[in-house]
């Protein structure tokens, strides 16, 4: 079952039964839907109940919980560095990550992510932030001072970097530094609002009772990466999703991460 929360007159947060967060951004002549969750119900029908505008889909990355109903829509864009991940997740059968019953867009029909979406009176810029996956991106609405981050820096309780497809920490840090510079060029300040790819995880943080996404989290995540590379961080074993190697929890400031020691290079 989907739920919609109106952030403002032209922006909705949509969540599914797994607390996957999607965002519907309305312009004067078009709408942009960021991510499609993995609810086994029609997302297109639900979105149509919120707007009559033509809807374009932009996927923050290729994981099943962000792409599962992408086949509901005609125009679907993704950073195709994640195309292989997307294709594998179309056949996933792991825990509650079940591809059976979902409606994926066929990989060959995905379109390459542009640098900007023009919605009519509303422009959404796309910045690449590879790390969690090679093709992860974030979306920036400079006029409304909003940033939609998918899973690129986590959603308030840690970024998953232990996955086999995740980049190494050095690459992630380099990409974070580039994005920080881009955001600083936009004169980002404390009034900007940040929205992650999963609802409610701000309350699951180990560093505070409510770890709100903000620009400080970007800076702290870069600092955490540098401390990991300098071997200045204490590792805590965790029962988070294990792939090939033992995952560990690490933190610095507001930044939290699940990582394997094999990624520290």
Instruction: Report the 10 Å Cβ neighbour count for 233.
Output: 19
Are 43 and 17 in contact by the 8 Å Cβ rule? The answer is no
Q: Strands 236-237, 55-58: parallel, antiparallel or unpaired by DSSP?
A: unpaired
From the number of C-beta atoms within 10 Å of its C-beta (0-12, 13-18, 19+), residue 57 rates as buried
CA distance linking residue 254 with residue 157, whole number of Å: 9
Residues 6+ apart with CB under 8 A from 46: 2, 4, 14
Structure tokens at 148: 């939609």
Q: What is the enclosing helix (H) or strand (E) of 170?
A: helix 169-185
Low-confidence ranges of the chain (pLDDT < 70): none
Are 125 and 116 in contact by the 8 Å Cβ rule? The answer is yes
Within 13 Å, how many C-alpha atoms sit on residue 197's CB side?
29
Residues 6+ apart with CB under 8 A from 196: 21, 149, 150, 151, 153, 154, 155, 156, 202, 213
Are 34 and 23 in contact by the 8 Å Cβ rule? The answer is yes
CA distance linking residue 22 with residue 136, whole number of Å: 15
Structure tokens at 97: 């990550």
Query: In terms of Cα–Cα distance, which of 149, 143, 108 is closest to 126?
Result: 149
Instruction: Report the 10 Å Cβ neighbour count for 70.
Output: 27
Structure tokens at 100: 């059976």
CA distance linking residue 99 with residue 90, whole number of Å: 6
pTM value surpassing 0.75 = yes
- Write down the residue that tokens 């969540």 correspond to: 15
Average pLDDT, the chain: 97
Helix (H, G, I), strand (E, B) or coil at 217: helix
Helix (H, G, I), strand (E, B) or coil at 58: strand
CA distance linking residue 235 with residue 45, whole number of Å: 45
Instruction: Report the 10 Å Cβ neighbour count for 143.
Output: 10
């Amino acid at each position: 079952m989907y739920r919609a929360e109106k952030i403002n007159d032209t922006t909705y947060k949509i969540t599914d039964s797994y607390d996957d967060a999607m965002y519907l951004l309305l312009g004067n002549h078009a709408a942009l839907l960021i991510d499609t969750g993995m609810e086994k119900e029609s997302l297109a029908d639900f979105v149509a109940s919120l707007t009559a505008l033509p809807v374009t889909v932009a996927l923050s990355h290729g994981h099943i919980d962000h792409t599962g109903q992408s086949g509901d829509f005609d125009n679907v864009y993704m950073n195709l560095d994640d195309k292989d991940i997307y294709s594998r997740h179309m056949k996933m059968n792991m825990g509650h990550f079940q591809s059976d019953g979902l409606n994926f867009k066929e990989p060959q029909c995905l379109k390459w992510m542009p640098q900007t979406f023009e919605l009519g009176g509303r422009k959404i810029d796309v910045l690449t932030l590879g790390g969690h996956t090679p093709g992860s991106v974030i979306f920036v609405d400079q006029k409304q001072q909003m940033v939609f981050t998918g899973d690129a820096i986590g959603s308030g309780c840690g970024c998953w970097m232990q996955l086999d497809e995740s980049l190494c920490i050095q690459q992630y840090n380099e990409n974070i530094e580039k994005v920080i510079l881009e955001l600083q060029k936009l004169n980002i300040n404390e009034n900007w609002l940040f929205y992650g790819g999963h609802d409610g995880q701000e309350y699951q943080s180990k560093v505070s009772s409510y770890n709100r996404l903000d620009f400080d989290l970007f800076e702290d995540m870069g600092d955490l990466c540098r401390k990991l590379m300098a071997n200045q961080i204490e590792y805590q074993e965790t029962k988070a999703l294990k792939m090939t190697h033992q995952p560990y929890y690490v933190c610095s400031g507001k930044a939290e991460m699940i990582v394997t020691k094999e990624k520290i290079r």
